[in-house]
Amino acid sequence: MLDRLLAERVDVERTPDRGSFAGLSALWTGTADAATLHLRHRDGTYNTPFVRSVLAGRESHVIPLWRREQGLLVPPGNPHGIGHVATLARHTVALRAPGTGTRVLLERLMLEAKADPAALHGAVHGSHLEVAMAVASGTAETGIATRAAASAFALDFVPLAWEPFELAFPGKALELAEPLIAAARSHGPALAEQLCGYEIIT
């Protein structure tokens, strides 16, 4: 959804997608004016604890943009009977890179289910669509990604969590962040209707 919102905005420069922790690092070093985050904290909340820690002593803002549904992608009919993160060590999993919000979510959910994230095995993929492609092609038995990615490849979907996708930035960058906030408010509802598993936060 972020790609679609920014497609026609020449006033917003987007850095390569390296994950939520990379975005936080860029905020800390000042190499980015804002970062989009979906990081689940160990207390069950999202994003704000990380931003407060990284930008400690500095004014900061966390603005909700939308919610999206994450879950396990499985082939049609779920032939491997995958229904929970607790059993993922038995399967080949299409993984997101460490430091991405999706990988953090998966590992947090596994720990809550008393499962060891270190037992996961499978190739690392650079996007939700790449995860879906791996499951659709049979190179992975499952993977965690958005419902929209599952829909794009006609895969079945085992729901895990709705997560907030938020924009974080230091106080001095408020004006620079406004174009993305405005785009989300004006074009977000129509885009959410086109994509499965997205809801605009108002």
Report helix angle 101-112 to 20-29, nearest 10.
Answer: 120
pLDDT along the chain (202 residues), means of 10: 61 68 88 89 92 89 92 98 97 96 96 97 96 99 98 98 92 76 76 83 71
Predicted confidence at residue 155, as pLDDT, reads: 99
Query: What does CATH list as the number for 69-161?
Result: 3.40.190.10
pLDDT of residue 171: 81
2-67+164-200: which CATH topology?
D-Maltodextrin-Binding Protein; domain 2 (3.40.190)
Looking at residue 74, its pLDDT comes to: 99
pLDDT at 186 (0 to 100): 76
Q: What is the pTM of this model?
A: 0.85
Listed by start position, the domains of the chain span 2-67+164-200, 69-161
Q: State the sign of the Cα–Cα–Cα–Cα dihedral 100, 101, 105, 111.
A: positive
